[in-house]
Amino acid sequence: MSSRTFRDKIKKQDDDDLTKGKLPKDFEQAIPVTLIEALGLMAKRVQDEKTISAPGMKMDNTVVSGFQSYIVAQQERFGGEVFGSVHDKKRAIRAAYEEYVNEVEMNQLLNLRPRDVEEAKVLVTSLERLESEDEQTALAEVIAIVNREAMAQPGE
């Protein structure tokens, strides 16, 4: 490998470093979603495929059913409520903690549901940057929101 190729490879790795909150250029306009949101998008696409009979939209049924099976397994693992009120949880995290966690990290935490700060940092390595006591406290509060059962609706 030439030194130029090596330099270009290292530069690309630096540009795409998720641990620093940098996404690859292909993903700059992407919107991060949780697993349950992805399942909803897949279900909508399957429904659209049936409704408008668009062959170009055909999804592989084994992929869809495999993803659905995965969601069911996660529901069993977490006692029935996996991703209850995801949008409410996202709203709560954004409102109070957006300076600490970005959209990608928030979705990773909502999908992985770590039990504590240490586990969160192992699962989402970009969170290692949060070192101060205030940052540690904020991350612990984010994890508490992530692991909260379905959030109560206003008026309940």
pLDDT band at 154 (very low <50, low <70, confident <90, very high): very low
Non-local (6+) Cβ contacts of 146 within 8 A are 89, 93, 109, 110, 113, 114
Same domain for 91 and 66? no
Residue 116: is its pLDDT beyond 80? yes
Q: Which of 136, 118, 110, 102 is nearest to 22 (CA)?
A: 102
In a domain, 64, yes or no: yes
Number of domains in the chain: 2
In a domain, 4, yes or no: no
Domain assignment of residue 50, given as a range: 35-77
Cα dihedral 44, 50, 52, 53, rounded to 10, equals: 130
Q: Which of 27, 50, 77 is the last residue of a domain?
A: 77
Is there a domain that residue 66 lies in? yes
59 and 98: one domain?
Answer: no
- Whether residues 67 and 105 share a domain: the answer is no
In a domain, 39, yes or no: yes
Burial of 82 (0-12, 13-18, 19+ CB in 10 A): buried
User: For residue 29, is it within any domain?
Assistant: no
| Tokens 């919107």 belong to residue | 31
Q: Is residue 133 part of a domain?
A: yes
How many CB atoms sit inside 10 A of residue 146's CB?
22
Distance CA 64, CA 39 (A): 8
Task: Determine contact, residues 98/91, Cβ cutoff 8 Å.
Answer: no
My answer on whether 69 and 102 are in the same domain is no
Tell me the CA end-to-end span of the chain in Å, nearest whole number.
Answer: 64
* Sign of torsion over alpha carbons 142, 144, 147, 149: negative
Residues 142 and 114 occupy one common structural domain: yes
121 with 68, same domain: the answer is no
User: Tokens representing 150?
Assistant: 């379905």
Predicted local confidence at residue 106, as pLDDT: 92
pLDDT mean over 77-85 = 55
Same domain, yes or no: 111 and 69: no
pTM score above 0.85: no
Confirm if 111 and 74 have CB atoms less than 8 A apart. no
Same domain, 98 and 70: no
Position 1 confidence tier, pLDDT thresholds 50, 70, 90 = low
pLDDT-derived band of residue 141, with 50, 70 and 90 as boundaries?
Answer: very high
Query: Is 61 part of any domain?
Result: yes
* 26, part of any domain: no
